[in-house]
Structure 1
């Protein structure tokens, strides 16, 4: 056969694996590692970029760091005794991810520069067909989505932005080749990224205008460096490190209390107000930077550097809305025009999957797409399964992000649940498993009821919610509760297509390690 004909035949047939994983960030890598530990080697990972890391590969802005402690923001099964400080910087997190990738020899299983464009389930042969933007076709029994929700930058619609002759870039696409020194710079947005890069660039720029639409609640960052002595203890006495991690976990878990309890919320907001007043020299700034909504309704941030940056003569807080951008300036609604050289968009990410997945078609049974299923809002069962989409699993799916603890814990719980599901499929000799619609509806009614009792339903808008106020992002409870819910697969909640007659394998027959 001629080489061209062979390649054409391969494209039609596709590369076949038991499992295809989408993404190689924390979620995808954890999934791959645990598949290998379970003796499952027939899998491939599809990564749209040229390296692993996800959001920690993309975000390299000055001051980039995590707001979860380093010994907790890492895999429980892959501890790092050498974290340099209590809160890890983005570079150090990416280095950790790269080490895990090499240690578990995952690169041979990753296809880089392979952005997935569509995935379709064929009920006849019980296979997912997954096609990438370069035209390559992959087929798999199971499709696992580990791309995460924070990877598509949100670019605001600002009149005249496209006519600006200066430099414009998003914080997640930081242009390190552009020198900010001596420049008049605008930063739009005051979210998690902006509060980190603003104090870092303030000493270098000539003038920094920080545009604030809504102030954020910001708590002090109790950060310290780990001494060489403590690192040696972590390395030589694993129990010491485990106790340290456990202390961090439970201290974070307590942070769920203000979400439900008004008394705790008031105490926390008073502490945050003290932080504002003690950090700013100008009383008018204190008023402008003090939120008027219940703490926790939007993401609570942590920083010791952000407020003091506004005590500098070259940093100005702008609360008037942007009217337009001209070729060399920015104009606010009050008519004031400020000459500028660069605009940094610290405007976060598109988190509603109905928007950032609009060009990614996932088709399940009866030709129904996932976006059709999610027409009124993204919903899933445990953030993992959706009815009508057999053998499709999600990591950090709807309502499984956190506002108080480490999402790595949630990822490990989900990976455990998926491994158990795959084990049950094999033991039952089933062609596929499909979630019952009533199980999906019952679970999401429970989620909605749980959210009604939280600060997230107190009236403010945030990236946690869609336009109609539905919270599709956060888990309304403790991570302890989520671990209990994902400990075992409730087989009755699924239809096991083609399972052997008389096969009564249940979830209690599966013995896999819980994170």
Structure 2
């Protein structure tokens, strides 16, 4: 197929054909089966490189008010909002060695957030902190997570390097029995699950992966004992080393430029290129972001949420790549405010999409000096097919003599790994170090992965019940038959590119549920009829995005090319509208979810 320069005008018919061609090159019949669990198959890929979690302690047999499963931002925010409601004993159980969740595990070189820090970092108003950078580095984010935990005194009861293994409702005491892999068996009146959507590292199922004799690790477990240095660079351990990195998503885009500065040679194994827009990161001051009055951060993040959720705002306070392209997120987010539909809308949407993607492909041409490399780095798909990335250093890395792009589209990835390197087609790449920037099994942690069995009233198994009829909740938080169990995450509520904002709204709601139950001496448990009504709301106006994602190049958004399930997974009228709905419900109808608590 002949190559058309991205800077030349293209008719939409030709562009659709090019997109279809590039998709078919990459689709594999095994779909998501091409990946394997890093934790299950190769435990050393999932081990904690930052602390020794094996230190002994006595198992706990006590009782707390609230147990929170997960110590990322969701769990921390749940704990903080519970404290604001006067809850005394809050125990957060976290398998990492400290608070932070994904920001505890991910400390790879170059790591930054791709959402502006002044809207991404939660509770800035409450902690009085103003981020130093427009896009915060990972360590600043991790320190902020710890700052919130300290402010709300969440450390004393926390259990780190500990995984919850089961939750069992005890009808006699009206509490949950929480069991862990450290032998704990304590009780909690309420349980909040916040196990995250990006917590299970995955590896490609490449034949021979276990035979590699060089050094290897996953980016979420970066081994600085081998590389030396810090997330800022200075990895002297890579001097003279041939390094291969698999994956060019958000992680690879950030790590590769830093690796290029320190390794003898870097081989970048790419299946599908990311779209990489301008980041323009810079240091910021309080004056820059209007941090001169109470509530400044709340106003800023609400403004950002409205814009990227498809709603109007009088002013764009953040003014970055996300807000500039907000209209193109319509197919990316199942929770997006839609007031248009039909052929005219889709035609205008496709034209705007084509213009943006042409702009991004032109950026590649202007940034990468070698035409063949530039062609391989161009993203030939629609904007919402993959989460956009942002970098001012990525493309420049491929102009270095010590960086080679290995395109694996036609071989569907690395074909096999040997003791000494990786094989792609007729070429063998000898490596001293092989790094997997292959991401996570999205949305399948905790309960949905089956690793956290939940037994409710009458011995009912939550996952079994959901397997029969699909997940059923009220607002995504609670389920009939599982009293005082509150879910946080991406199920049946709102979605946004700024997920910490969504999590904080969820934490506020979870704490309000607990406060209402405590004041009324009640259990939190919706009726089956309330679940039915909510599922009907979810389904009524759910957007049909199946066709769009079925045409995308394979990735985790479309189940590796099999199409995105057209199910009611999020509130269909936008995150801002969902948060307003919750607020009204708390003011007017929260009593509907409360049931009398039996005498203990």
If the TM-score is normalised by the length of the shorter chain, which range does it land in?
0.7 to 0.9
Aligned length: 486
How much has 1:455 moved relative to structure 2?
8.3
Matched residue SS, 1:431: strand
How much has 1:253 moved relative to structure 2?
4.4
Matched residue SS, 1:107: coil
Q: Show CA shifts across 1:195-221 (max 9, x none).
A: 100011112212211111122222211
Of 407, 416, 424, which aligns to 2:516? 424
Matched residue SS, 1:208: strand
Q: Match for residue 46 of structure 1?
A: 93
- Are positions 1:407 and 2:487 aligned together? no
Q: Show CA shifts across 1:309-336 (max 9, x none).
A: 112222122122211111112111x221
Structure-1 separation of matches of 2:382 and 2:61: 52
Q: Match for residue 62 of structure 1?
A: 109
How much has 1:282 moved relative to structure 2?
2.6
Q: Match for residue 513 of structure 1?
A: none
Q: Match for residue 143 of structure 1?
A: 191
Mean alpha-carbon deviation: is it higher for 431-440 or for 237-246? Answer: 237-246
Q: CA 1:464/1:119 → structure 2, altered by over 3 Å: closer, same or farther?
A: farther
Q: CA 1:462/1:24 → structure 2, altered by over 3 Å: closer, same or farther?
A: same
- Are positions 1:346 and 2:445 aligned together? no
Q: CA 1:407/1:324 → structure 2, altered by over 3 Å: closer, same or farther?
A: same
Q: Is the 8 A contact 2:545 2:564 kept in 1?
A: no
How much has 1:140 moved relative to structure 2?
1.7
Aligned residue runs from structure 1 range 3-22, under 5 A: 14-22=61-69
Structure-2 separation of matches of 1:214 and 1:474: 28
Q: Is the 8 A contact 1:71 1:79 kept in 2?
A: no
Structure-2 separation of matches of 1:339 and 1:63: 25
Structure-1 separation of matches of 2:133 and 2:506: 28
Of 159, 184, 187, which aligns to 2:207? 159
Q: Match for residue 526 of structure 2?
A: 434
Mean alpha-carbon deviation: is it higher for 461-470 or for 31-40? Answer: 461-470
Of 455, 479, 484, which aligns to 2:580? 484
Aligned residue runs from structure 1 range 98-497, under 5 A: 98-178=146-226, 179-227=237-285, 230=288, 234=291, 237-238=293-294, 248-253=304-309, 255=323, 256-260=326-330, 261-320=349-408, 321-332=413-424, 334-353=425-444, 357-375=449-467, 380-398=473-491, 402=495, 404=497, 406-436=498-528, 439-440=531-532, 442-443=534-535, 446=538, 449-453=541-545, 457-460=549-552, 461-466=554-559, 469-470=564-565, 477-487=573-583, 488-489=585-586, 491=589, 496-497=594-595
Structure-2 separation of matches of 1:352 and 1:80: 32
Matched residue SS, 2:327: helix
Q: Is the 8 A contact 1:294 1:455 kept in 2?
A: no
Q: Is the 8 A contact 2:135 2:281 kept in 1?
A: yes
Alignment gaps of 5+ in structure 1: 1-9, 501-515
Q: CA 1:425/1:464 → structure 2, altered by over 3 Å: closer, same or farther?
A: farther
How much has 1:248 moved relative to structure 2?
4.6
Mean alpha-carbon deviation: is it higher for 124-133 or for 172-181? Answer: 124-133
Structure-1 separation of matches of 2:405 and 2:551: 25
How much has 1:166 moved relative to structure 2?
0.2
How much has 1:143 moved relative to structure 2?
0.8
TM-score by length of 2: 0.73
How much has 1:229 moved relative to structure 2?
6.3
Structure-1 separation of matches of 2:102 and 2:219: 12
Q: Match for residue 75 of structure 1?
A: 122
Which fold has the larger relative contact order, with Cα–Cα distance below 8 Å and residues 6 or more apart in sequence? 2
Structure-2 separation of matches of 1:401 and 1:196: 28
Q: Show CA shifts across 1:238-258 (max 9, x none).
A: 576666556555554454421
Q: CA 1:317/1:325 → structure 2, altered by over 3 Å: closer, same or farther?
A: same
Q: CA 1:354/1:365 → structure 2, altered by over 3 Å: closer, same or farther?
A: farther
How much has 1:186 moved relative to structure 2?
0.9
Q: CA RMSD in A?
A: 3.1
Q: CA 1:435/1:283 → structure 2, altered by over 3 Å: closer, same or farther?
A: farther
How much has 1:82 moved relative to structure 2?
3.7
Structure-2 separation of matches of 1:479 and 1:444: 18
Q: CA 1:245/1:437 → structure 2, altered by over 3 Å: closer, same or farther?
A: closer
How much has 1:79 moved relative to structure 2?
5.3
Q: Show CA shifts across 1:438-491 (max 9, x none).
A: 625743772585341588645334324556732787665532122123212474
Q: CA 1:315/1:471 → structure 2, altered by over 3 Å: closer, same or farther?
A: farther
How much has 1:118 moved relative to structure 2?
0.6
Structure-1 separation of matches of 2:362 and 2:500: 31
Matched residue SS, 1:68: coil
